[in-house]
Structure 1
C-alpha cells in the first residue's frame, strides 16, 4: 500500500473537515439543560436559556432554529414541531454581533455558507443586508415537508419601530434585548401562537426582561439556567481557572447565569462554601422538616439534618410545587421521615377559603408531624432579620451545608436579594422554608428507623424502640 505524502494527508484531512463542518445539525447532542430547554418549547410560549459564557447557549438556540426551519427533527426531539415551512426572525445587538454569532451559527462564516447548523443542501437564496459587510438580511431554507422557510436577521439597535408589522412563527433573541424590542418580537407571534426564546448571560442584572422570567410566574414562560458545571465540554479541573479569571462582580453571571445583584444580594457567600456531595446520614443526627405554604406561588419544603456534636446543619432535600392541595404535598413529603417534626409559618393558622380547617391542621391530618406552634426562636420571637442573620452566620462559618444536587435550592439562593433595603418577596419559597427550619432546630429529632434497637430483654425478646 502506498504511503500518502504530507500534502495528500493535509488535503484528505481538509476534505474530512469540510464534510464534518456540513453535518453540524446532525451531530448536535444537547446536554441535559439544553435538552430541558428544547423540551419546554412543547408547553411554554416564552423561554429563556440563562447561562454563563461559552457554555453552549447560542449553539442550543441555533440548533432549535435550524430544526424548525428545515423540519429535520431528530428522533430524540420532544419540543415543539412544525410540519410546514415557517417565517422567523433571529437577532442580536448590532449588525456585527448578529453576523458573528447568530448568522455564523446558522449559516457558517461569511464566504463559507452551509458550514453552520443549517445544512448546505437546505440553503436557498440569500439577500445581503445594507451597511454591514458580510451580514445577510434574509435567507430561504428548504423544509422537509416541501416549500421554503424564510429567516430574517434583525438587530436590537434598529429600535422598536423596525420590529413592527410582520407575522411570525418564532423569534430567537441571542443576548438580552431591550424590554420594548422583546415586547414587539413577542407580539409578532401572537397571531400564530408561535414561540419566542432568548439565550443570554444576564450581565445587565435584574433587568425588566430578566425579572419577567424570574419574578413574574406564568404557565407560558420557562426559565432554564445552565451553569459551568452543566457544560460537559469544560473539564472539571479547568472550571476553577475559568472562574478565577472573571472579575469578582461578574463571576456568578459569567459562570452560572446568575443576574448580577451587587450589594443587594442577601447571602453574598460562594456556593463552594455550601455545596457538599450527598452522603448517608449517621443515625444519631437529628432531623427537622420545614415548609412554606403556597398556592399560586410554590409550596416549598426542606429537610435539615443537624450534627449536634459539630453544630453543622445539612440541607439534604428540597421540594417546590405549585397549585396542589395539602394532601398532595403531604404524600410527597412524608417519606422524608414519617415521624420527623415539621416547622411551619404564621399563615398555618389561617383557615382555607369558605371556613375550612387551618392549613397546619390539614397537613397534620394528612400525616405530617407538624409542630404545635408556628416557627419561632426559643424566646418566642419571629424576626425575619434575625433568621436571615443566623443563616448568614452559619454559611460564613461553615456550619450550613447543602447537598450539591439540590438545584432548585441553589437557584433561589443565587437570586435572593433586597431592593431599597427590603427583602424582595419573589422566588424565595425555599429560602423561607430554610429560615423556619433554622429557627426551630431545637425541635429536631433522630429518625427512629435508623437508630439501633435496644438491648434484648431478660426474656430474650426484643422490644420496639419508641424514642
Structure 2
C-alpha cells in the first residue's frame, strides 16, 4: 500500500459523488444495503464486512486530534522491514484509562537511521515495543534490526506477539470505548479498513504493518507506557510534548 502523504492521494467515490442520483434514490439504496457495506457503496470507503478482523466502523472509534497533556503516559510500537517500516504512538488518559492512538510513521525502503530519526522527533524518551522477529531478521549485510535500532538510540523491548489473543484484546478495547483513533492517521485508517481474514479464517498478511503495531502497542502497553520526566524540577514546559505532531 503506498504511503498517503501530501504528494500522494487516495481518491474515493460513491453514491454521494454521483450527480444524477436523487436524494430519494440514495436513501432507498442505503436502506437496502447491509450496514457493513453502506460506507463502501455510499462513500467509496473500503469495507470487508464479516471478513473484517475488527468489525467496527472506524468512525465509531475515531476522534479529532487534541492537545495531549504532558502528564499522560505515552508509548509506541514498531514494525520494521525494508519494504515498509511502521510505528504507532499512543497516549493514555489517567482519569478513565482510554488509550488514544495519535501519531504514525509509515515509510518504506529507508535505512534504520532515517526511521529512527523520525521516531525520536516525536519524543526520544518514549519507550517502544518492536516486532520480536526483528532479532532474527536482516535488512542489510546480516545486521539484526533490533540491534540496529537500539544503536540509533531507541529505547525498545521485544513485543509479546500472541496474535489471536492480541487481536481479541484490541477488539475488546475498541468495542468498549477503551481505545480511540485520531482522525489524522490516514495510513492507519487505510489498513484498518482492509484488515481481514480469507475464506479459511487465516489473516491476510498484506498491508498490515500498522495493524501489527496496533496489536503490539495495546498488548504491551503496561511494559512501555511512561510519563515524560520534567527536564528540571518544577519545569513542565509549554505543554507540547510532540513538536512533530504539534501536541
Q: Please give the range of the TM-score, normalised by the shorter of the 2 chains.
A: 0.7 to 0.9
1:366 counterpart (133, 146, 152): 152
* 1:253-272 matched pairs, under 5 angstroms: 253-272=40-59
2:164 counterpart (376, 385, 390): 385
* Comparing 432-441 and 303-312, the one that deviates more: 303-312
1:273 touches 1:398 (CA, 8 Å); kept in 2? Answer: no
Q: CA deviation at 1:48?
A: 7.8
Higher relative contact order (CA 8 A, sep 6+): 2
- 5+ residue gaps, structure 1, are 1-32, 41-46, 60-99, 101-240, 377-381, 456-467
* 1:27-106 matched pairs, under 5 angstroms: 49-55=11-17
Q: Is 1:251 the counterpart of 2:24 in the alignment? A: no
- In 1, Cα distance between equivalents of 2:65 and 2:10: 29
Q: How does the TM-score come out when normalised to structure 2?
A: 0.80
Q: CA deviation at 1:272?
A: 2.6
Q: Is 1:278 the counterpart of 2:65 in the alignment? A: yes
Q: Is 1:410 the counterpart of 2:189 in the alignment? A: yes
Determine the structure 1 residue equivalent to 2:82: 295
Partner SS for 1:364: helix
Q: Displaced runs of 4+ in structure 1, greater than 6 A?
A: 241-244
1:246 touches 1:254 (CA, 8 Å); kept in 2? Answer: no
Q: Is 1:445 the counterpart of 2:226 in the alignment? A: yes
Could you report, residue by residue, the CA deviation over 1:371-420 in whole angstroms, capped at 9, with x for unpaired residues?
2xx101xxxxx310111000000000001001111111111111100002
2:159 counterpart (342, 364, 375): 375
Q: Is 1:427 the counterpart of 2:214 in the alignment? A: no
1:243 touches 1:251 (CA, 8 Å); kept in 2? Answer: no
1:295 touches 1:323 (CA, 8 Å); kept in 2? Answer: yes
Compare the two structures and name the one with the higher strand fraction. Answer: 1
- 5+ residue gaps, structure 2, are 21-26, 236-247
Q: CA deviation at 1:346?
A: 1.6
2:88 touches 2:214 (CA, 8 Å); kept in 1? Answer: yes
1:345 touches 1:436 (CA, 8 Å); kept in 2? Answer: yes
* 1:106-125 matched pairs, under 5 angstroms: none
Number of residue pairs aligned between Structure 1 and Structure 2: 222
Q: CA deviation at 1:254?
A: 1.8
- In 1, Cα distance between equivalents of 2:82 and 2:58: 29
Q: CA deviation at 1:452?
A: 8.1
- In 1, Cα distance between equivalents of 2:130 and 2:28: 41
Q: CA deviation at 1:50?
A: 3.9
* 1:180-199 matched pairs, under 5 angstroms: none
Could you report, residue by residue, the CA deviation over 1:207-240 in whole angstroms, capped at 9, with x for unpaired residues?
xxxxxxxxxxxxxxxxxxxxxxxxxxxxxxxxxx
